[in-house]
Chain A
Amino acid sequence: DVKVTQSSRYLVKRTGEKVFLECVQDMDHENMFWYRQDPGLGLRLIYFSYDVKMKEKGDIPEGYSVSREKKERFSLILESASTNQTSMYLCASSTKRDSPDTQYFGPGTRLTVL
């Protein structure tokens, strides 16, 4: 079974802090994604990556950055956390580029910014 793990289930941070959310997948997938989930809005794509050291902006990249130094790991960075970034963050992976294949999701990190 594909496994996608996220470093924390719950996080509480203060406004202005730098926040790192980590995601690891164990199936040698090329693609990795970061979404945020908010009630009534579904999931919205923040950033994605098709390869190591490669990143592309999704629909809502403002206030976020990402890092992919190794194929299995994809990090989401909030440079200066703000209260409007309080949300559920979901990481996902899928097999290969330019392929409409199943995405496998981690359990999510619920981030609260005070």
Chain B
Amino acid sequence: AQSVTQLDSQVPVFEEAPVELRCNYSSSVSVYLFWYVQYPNQGLQLLLKYLSGSTLVKGINGFEAEFNKSQTSFHLRKPSVHISDTAEYFCAVSDHTGKLIFGQGTTLQVKP
């Protein structure tokens, strides 16, 4: 069975500082990995995804993530955050069926 663990429930950071949101997964089959963002009072939208190919994936709003198969991780990074990045971030894993298994979520709080 697949599962996803987001190691931090909340990450406070000052504006313009770098940030890393951690995600580890477990799966016995080929995996496809996603990061979604949820702004207050909105649905989820895709930040980036890894399906195959290069292990460094670039997404919207300056975010990127690296697929590390040996460490079963897919950490999300941004070199300099803005106030507008304050949101909840979800890591998710899928198998070939397209069903998603989500992590618990990480709240990113960007302080001025």
Candidates A42, A48, A102, A107; contact of B43 at CB < 8 Å: A107
In the complex, the number of residue pairs spanning A and B with C-beta atoms less than 8 Å apart equals 63
CA distance A35 to B32 in the complex (A): 19
Q: How many residues of A contact B (CB 8 A)?
A: 27
B94 within 8 A of A: yes
Candidates A45, A100, A106; contact of B96 at CB < 8 Å: A100
CA distance A48 to B99 in the complex (A): 9
Residues from chain A with Cβ under 8 Å of B97 in the complex: 97-98, 100
Chain B interface residue number, banded: 20 to 34
* Contacts known (A94-B98, A98-B96); A106 close to B43, Cβ less than 8 A: yes
Candidates B32, B45, B98, B102; contact of A31 at CB < 8 Å: B98
CA distance A45 to B97 in the complex (A): 14
CB distance from B77 to the nearest CB of A (A): 21
CA distance A94 to B98 in the complex (A): 8
Residues from chain A with Cβ under 8 Å of B4 in the complex: 42
A62 within 8 A of B: no
Residues from chain A with Cβ under 8 Å of B102 in the complex: 35, 42-44
User: Which of chain B's residues 15-70 have a Cβ closer than 8 Å to chain A?
Assistant: 32, 34, 36, 41-46, 49, 51
- B: residues with CB less than 8 A from A are 4, 6, 9, 32, 34, 36, 41-46, 49, 51, 90, 94-105
